[in-house]
Structure 1
Amino acid sequence: MSHLPSDGRHEHGQNFLTDPRVPATMVDLVARTSGPILEIGPGDGAITVPLARLGRPVVAVEIDGRHVARLRRRLAGRAGPSARVDVRHADYLHFPHPAEPHVVVGNVPFHVTTAILRKLLDEPGWSHAVLLVQWEVARRRAGVGGATLLTAQWWPWFSFELHGRVPARAFRPSPGTDGGLLRVTRRALLPAGDRAAYQRFVADVFTGRGRGLADVLRRRGLLDDDAASLLARERLGSALARELTAPQWVALWGGVRPGSAPRRTAGARTGGQRRSRH
């Protein structure tokens, strides 16, 4: 695989891959899936060209017109599967995903990683995503060293798996941080109808005041007998929100579920007024 030119434009946060082993790993992860492929930010094609060899339709969305022209010329000189690659000149943040099931792959510009992830997670239709993002983002999304609010909010519907670290020297120009390979897979640990309420609940817990989970829920008026029993059983009373795993968040939501009928508040005085579930 030929290396890419090191002329990434600062305004687009472009850092091109020069180590062919990284695209090979990403394409191998994509090869384990099925269906059409949507690539985010193909640049000059370090990932696009080997993707084309899979023989599946590829739509590559590139914001920089110079690289759109280069990639189209590069692919035009190749026969066979490359003819199935459609290079689009567009900003992914404003690009509609296809309606049919598909897979997403991309070397994500580091400075817009969060915006791209938020858009991606809101998009229906795709089943898997293989992304190269900042190392710390990849670690936190996968729950290594503690999950972020964004991860916890989406965990019931997506799994995040870390697939390796990519040193900064594998890019040109070299970024100020290493990259990380992240695979995201759609799942359904909770019904889709719970999403809005669940995500508000997670945000409340993450931002709530208190020394540990039990204290946070108590201050929010959510620590009833069932929730207290759950925390004791899972030994989560003193845990911090970022320390919970995906199954623990799902269990906590099932035990608390704000908006349901109020139950006896743990520790409430006999005859006392029940706390609101809101």
Structure 2
Amino acid sequence: MPSPHHGRHEFGQNFIRDRRVINTIVDLVAQTTGPIIEIGAGDGALTLPLQRLRRPLTAIEVDARRAVRLDTRTAATTNVVTADFLTYRLPATPHVVVGNLPFHQTTAMLRRLLHSPGWTDAVLLVQWEVARRRAGVGGATMMTAQWWPWFEFALAQRVPAAAFTPRPGVDGGLITVRRRADPLVDHHDRHRYQRLVHRVFTGRGRGIAQIVGGVAPRDVTRRWLRDNRIRVDALPRDLSAPQWASLLDLSDGPRDRGDRGHRQRR
């Protein structure tokens, strides 16, 4: 008799089978409010437990055969949709996103999610190293720094490879992402801020003082380092979210900083 997962791995999905991990995910979602959208519902290992929260639930599954089977097992209040998340349009109204993301599509899915409006919280199971990098453990990546003013990333736990079937070659990591109610940088400045982060991460220098040397005069840079308690030899990955936000003020130059004093940064 063929495996219930036969043929599905062509989509790169490793199904979560550890009941403890599933319960942890449901508990994290239970701490949020609003309708739930699940990415990659598969055979419903997470979908069915999520129904216990008694909230509107949309389960997205790219495999049409599995979506049809899952639809026969879910409650009438659960909407099973056959779709690819990378092309699925999320609603503009508040909702929560949860999912066990295919490891090979994690970055693409995260980028689409971060560019999407409406959702307030996300609980995501991704590759362990990706989870650590996105949560800024051991230093922030450029992607995390570029989105920090609008989102908070946190590492919930490591998930062993044995918790999946088929078993992947690496462990997974559970992360949470929360949209900040009070952004550190105004949304209208997003593109300018993200270009600045890219410039700093790819800039030359032995430390942040040298790297940002072209952003502002030396005395202004020294004052920024002192006021934000940043070492001159710190690297871009060492900066915190508020420190990155303050760097945008520094790049404005003296003529603009007064005009931008009302930027949302708390």
Q: TM-score normalised to the size of structure 1?
A: 0.86
Structure 1 runs of 4+ aligned residues shifted over 4 Å read: none
The reply to whether residue 24 of structure 1 matches residue 23 of structure 2 is yes
1:227 aligned partner, one-letter code: T
Structure 2: state its 5+ residue gaps.
258-266
Corresponding letter in the other structure for 2:28: L
Q: Which residue of 2 aligns with 1:92?
A: 85
The answer (yes or no) to whether the contact 1:8–1:15 under 8 Å persists in 2 is: no
The question of whether the paired residues in 1 share the 8 Å contact of 2:215 and 2:250 is answered with no
Q: Secondary structure at the match of 2:86?
A: helix
The residue aligned with 1:168 is 161
Instruction: Name the counterpart of 1:118.
Output: 111
Cα distance in structure 2, aligned partners of 1:221 and 1:97: 37
Preserved CA contact (<8 Å) 1:113 1:133: yes
Q: Which residue of 2 aligns with 1:130?
A: 123
CA distance in 1: counterparts of 2:70 and 2:190, whole angstroms: 39
Establish whether residue 74 from structure 1 lines up as the match of residue 73 from structure 2.
yes
2:100–2:125 Cα contact (<8 Å) kept = yes
Asked if structure 1 preserves the Cα contact closer than 8 Å seen for 2:149 and 2:185, the reply is yes
> Which residue number in structure 1 is paired with residue 13 of structure 2?
14
CA-CA distance at 1:99 after TM superposition: 2.2
Question: Which residue in 2 is equivalent to 1:253?
Answer: 248
Percent of aligned pairs with the same amino acid = 57
**Equivalent of residue 226 in structure 2, options 232, 246, 250:** 232
Deviation per CA, 1:138-187: give whole Å up to 9, x if none. 11111101111100000010000100000000000011110111000001
1:172-183 superposed matches below 5 A? 172-183=165-176
Mapped to 1, the partners of 2:172 and 2:4 lie a distance apart of 19
Report the Cα offset of residue 235 of structure 1: 2.8
1:92 counterpart SS class: coil
Q: Mapping of 1:180-191 within 5 angstroms?
A: 180-187=173-180, 188-191=183-186
Q: Per-residue deviation at 1:224?
A: 4.2
Alpha carbons 1:138, 1:182 under 8 Å: kept: yes
* 1:15/1:174 contact within 8 Å kept: yes
Gaps of 5+ in 1: 76-81, 264-278
CA contact under 8 A between 1:208 and 1:216: conserved in structure 2? yes
Does structure 1 residue 208 correspond to structure 2 residue 207?
Answer: no
Distance 1:129 1:162 in 2: 12
For residues 178-221 of structure 1, the C-alpha deviation after alignment (integer angstroms, 9 at most, x for no partner) is 01110000011121111110000000000011111111111x34
Call closer, same or farther: CA 1:12–1:206 in 2, change over 3 Å: same
C-alpha displacement of 1:236? 2.9
1:222 aligned partner: 216
AA aligned to 1:228 is R
Cα deviation, 1:201-260, whole Å, max 9, x if unaligned, reads 000000011111111111x343443222111341332111111111221222223336x7
CA distance in 2, matches of 1:133, 1:50: 19
Aligned mates of 2:161, 2:250 — CA distance in 1: 44
Structure 1 residues 226-235 or 145-154, which shifts more? 226-235
Alignment of 1:140-179 (within 5 A): 140-179=133-172
